[in-house]
Structure formats: structure tokens, C-alpha cells
Amino acid sequence: NNWDLMGEYYHFSNLDRSGTTGQHGSSAWYLQAGYSFGAFTPFARIERTRLDQTDSYFAQQASGQSYKRSAMGLRYELNPRTALKLEASHTTAMDRAPGSFAEFRSQIAVRF
């Protein structure tokens, strides 16, 4: 069939063994759907993270803040081992530095 569905879910349960901040729970997930028309596959994806900012592990990372993102793009298969992908996304940061931004990405994927 021509449908392509992907998704992942992660749950983080961290216990601060130093005894200062206790237990923390965070999650991250995405869901992507695409439909192939010959060599072309348009797709759409949503992503969400909810990272506990009192968890020292995430608080120390520059990219350790919660966000939500929506993306859409087009994948073109040059041959069975090589594809080109163009993607546009919009991300909203939700914790330390709230705000939003747009990105445009391109990729050449080669498998062997």
C-alpha cells in the first residue's frame, strides 16, 4: 500500500540519587504520515516534548527544553538507494525561552 506511518514515544523517569531534587518524569513523541505517488512522498509530522525543567539532566542541556513542532515536506526517491527530502517546520519552545521559529531543511539520504 502507499501509506507510510511512523511514530515513537519515550517516557523518562529519573531519580536524583544525590537527594536534592527527587524524582522527575518527562516524555517525547512524534507521529508522521506520508502517502506515496510513484517516486514522490509528501508527508506531515507532529512532535511534542515535555521535559521536566527541575530535572538536572535536562536543565543542563542547551536543547533540554520542551517544545512542540509541526512539519511537512516532500521526499523524492532518485533510485532504490538514494532519496532527496525537503522539509518545512514550525517549532514553539515552551520552557526557558518561550518563542517560535520556522526552519527549512533539505537532506540527501543514501542507504547501503
Q: Which residues of the chain have pLDDT under 70?
A: none
pLDDT the model gives residue 112: 85
66-92 burial by CB neighbour count: b if 16+ within 10 A, else e? bbebebebebebeeeeebebebebebe
pLDDT the model gives residue 22: 83
What's the rounded Cα separation, in Å, for the pair 37 and 85? Answer: 15
Q: To 10 degrees, the CA torsion angle through 94, 96, 99, 101?
A: -90
pLDDT the model gives residue 106: 98
Give 65-97 pLDDT, tens digit per residue. Answer: 999 999 999 999 999 999 999 999 999 999 888
pLDDT the model gives residue 60: 84
Within 8 A by CB and 6+ apart from 88, the residues are 71, 72, 73, 102, 103, 104, 105
Whole-structure pTM value: 0.86
